[in-house]
Amino acid sequence: MIPVILSGGSGTRLWPLSRASHPKQFLDVTDQQTMFQLTLGRLQGLPDGGEHSRAPIVVCNEAHRFIVAEQARVARTPLRSILLEPVARSTAPAIAAAAAVATADGQDPVLLVLAADHVINDVAAFHAAVKAGLPAAEDGKLVTFGVVPTAPETGYGYISVAHAIEAGAGPQVQPVQAFVEKPNLATAQDYVAGGRHLWNSGMFMFRASAYLAELDKFAPDIASAARAAVELGKKDLDFVRLDATAFAASPEDSIDYAVMEKTDKAVVVPLQAGWSDVGAWNAVWQVSDKDAQGNSLRGDVVVHDVQGSHVHAGHRLVSVLGLQDVVVVETSDAVLVASKDKVQDVKKIVEQLKAKSRPEASLHRKVYRPWGAYDSIGNGDRYQVKCITVKPGAKLSVQMHHHRAEHWIVVSGTAKVQIDDKEVMLTENQSTYIPLGAVHALENPGKIPLELIEVQSGAYLGEDDIVRFEDRYGRAGS
């Protein structure tokens, strides 16, 4: 069995913490680990649980490739492959590409398809559900996992089954009667009362060949585009770049619409494992530990006369007084204050920010790069100040700028600096100057992180004023 982890979501409803450049699956919203790392951790103890067979295929946005690799390294989880989507085409093409990769060597493994941004509190129950569905998957069925509802939720699609599911009953495979769209509240209440409807979790298990065969039958354009994207793809470091032209030719469709709602091979395993897709801030509140007043508090938070609220402080003291059922989220460059029953509409705030071309819609003040990160700590007319952290052994691209000069001051660690044809070593409290137009590079030759302050000055300070000549991360010429 090969796990396939889909990590292409943007998580806009968890703004301002989740943004396009660093979405929710890579954040520690509910735990000390990120949701992606928690997903990797749940693979421990699955059937065929040897380290190599457990190594997952991750499908992600090209912009997130180094975040995926770094978080897997920190979690000490080897990855079988990282497939880079050149454009978003929803889940059906993404899974098809993973299936094509998994069968490229003539094997036909069972694929366990998981989302990178779900929370599952009872891992043992999740493992039991996987083991219960595995024989059906090996036999050619397309298995999905339906969460036994705990409330009349209107934000999820549902799966109907013939026999009512009893609370606490062990996982047993049932044929799927129908997939049902998101209901209104009255209908959702009827579903929960009847016991024959499950939340559609978006998790699946099937043989790679079985999925591709059904996709050939019901959505052949998706199947052929995915196969072509893999065949024409290129290996780049630890990544597989799916061919952009071939993958973009695929119709955009979910696995539910493309296959699961049409196939006669769909079966479902009821899941009672404390599952949540953490789709909005009220869901974060639901899965978080709470105080005696029902508040989930994270970071440097002081509250008084506050009930049923979620307060997240990322960078400074946040105090809340005399409020009930609110969400307050503070980051280095934005603050959200919302009624807990309105958090589904956070995406409308993000849409306004995008319409105004505000960087807060997609970027954090701290931006991660394959070599480390930079934090824009100050800016004004014709100047910008950044705190730059370079990982041991890492090197920024050999580059130049048309519109800005730079001063670098080392705070800690050792910097190897190239400026045109000169090379200099700098240590703590030493500095250098990069003239406008000079070809330069920065490297950390040491064993500890390099931290330095960069002061930029010039007529234009945008990140697109970079001409890369050499780059160990495949970005030369960009």
Give the 3-state DSSP-derived string for 326-384, with helices as H, strands as E and coil as C.
EEEEECCCCEEEEEHHHHHHHHHHHHHHHHCCCHHHCCCCEEEECCEEEEEEEEECCEE
For residues 331 and 363, the answer to whether their CB atoms sit within 8 Å is no
Q: Are residues 392 and 308 in the same domain?
A: no
What is the C-alpha radius of gyration for the chain, rounded to an integer number of angstroms?
24
The CB density around residue 440, as the number of other CB atoms within 10 Å, is: 21
Q: Are residues 62 and 114 in the same domain?
A: yes
pTM of this structure = 0.86
Q: What is the pLDDT of residue 51?
A: 47
pLDDT value at 237 more than 80: no
- CATH number of domain containing 89: 3.90.550.10
Q: What is the pLDDT of residue 52?
A: 46
Q: What is the pLDDT of residue 370?
A: 86
* 478 belongs to a structural domain: no
The structure tokens 């089954």 sit at 161
Q: Name the domain count of the chain.
A: 3
For residues 104 and 230, the answer to whether their CB atoms sit within 8 Å is yes
Average pLDDT over residues 186-199: 91
Maximum average pLDDT range among 44-58, 59-73, 433-447: 433-447
Q: Are residues 372 and 398 in the same domain?
A: yes
For residues 413 and 445, the answer to whether their CB atoms sit within 8 Å is no
Q: What is the pLDDT of residue 168?
A: 66
Q: What is the pLDDT of residue 49?
A: 47
Q: What is the three-class DSSP state of 250?
A: coil
Average pLDDT over residues 364-381: 90
Q: Domain boundary residue among 225, 250, 276?
A: 276
What is the enclosing helix (H) or strand (E) of 248?
Answer: helix 244-248
Q: Are residues 95 and 159 in the same domain?
A: yes
pLDDT tens string 293-330: 999 999 999 999 999 999 999 999 999 999 999 999 99
Instruction: Report the percentage of the chain scoring pLDDT > 90.
Output: 78
Q: Are residues 115 and 257 in the same domain?
A: yes
User: Please, which pLDDT band fits residue 50 given cuts at 50, 70 and 90?
Assistant: very low
Q: Are residues 326 and 384 in the same domain?
A: no
Average pLDDT over residues 76-99: 94
pLDDT tens string 8-17: 877 789 999 9
Q: Are residues 91 and 213 in the same domain?
A: yes
422: domain range?
Answer: 366-470
Q: What is the three-class DSSP state of 57?
A: strand
Q: Domain boundary residue among 323, 349, 375?
A: 349
For residues 118 and 275, the answer to whether their CB atoms sit within 8 Å is yes
The structure tokens 């929370």 sit at 119
* 183 belongs to a structural domain: yes
Task: Output the CA angle 12-16-18, nearest 5 degrees.
Answer: 50
Q: What is the pLDDT of residue 472?
A: 85
**Mean pLDDT over the full length of the chain:** 92
Q: Are residues 85 and 178 in the same domain?
A: yes
Instruction: Report the percentage of the chain scoring pLDDT > 70.
Output: 97
* 162 belongs to a structural domain: yes
User: At residue 54, what is the residue type?
Assistant: R
pLDDT tens string 400-445: 999 999 999 999 999 999 999 999 999 999 999 999 999 999 999 9
Q: Are residues 199 and 290 in the same domain?
A: no
- Count Cα atoms within 13 angstroms, Cβ side, for 457: 6
* 354 belongs to a structural domain: no
pLDDT tens string 443-477: 999 999 999 999 999 999 988 899 999 988 877 66
Average pLDDT over residues 364-374: 89
* 357 belongs to a structural domain: no
Average pLDDT over residues 94-106: 94
For residues 24 and 15, the answer to whether their CB atoms sit within 8 Å is no
User: Please, which pLDDT band fits residue 68 given cuts at 50, 70 and 90?
Assistant: very high
Orientation angle between helical segments 208-218 and 220-231, nearest 10 degrees: 130
Q: Are residues 187 and 307 in the same domain?
A: no
Q: Are residues 243 and 313 in the same domain?
A: no
Average pLDDT over residues 180-187: 91
Average pLDDT over residues 213-235: 95
pLDDT value at 46 more than 90: no
Q: Domain boundary residue among 226, 255, 276?
A: 276
* 149 belongs to a structural domain: yes
* 355 belongs to a structural domain: no
Q: Are residues 74 and 56 in the same domain?
A: yes
The structure tokens 């009821």 sit at 270
- CATH number of domain containing 405: 2.60.120.10
pLDDT value at 53 more than 60: no
* 477 belongs to a structural domain: no
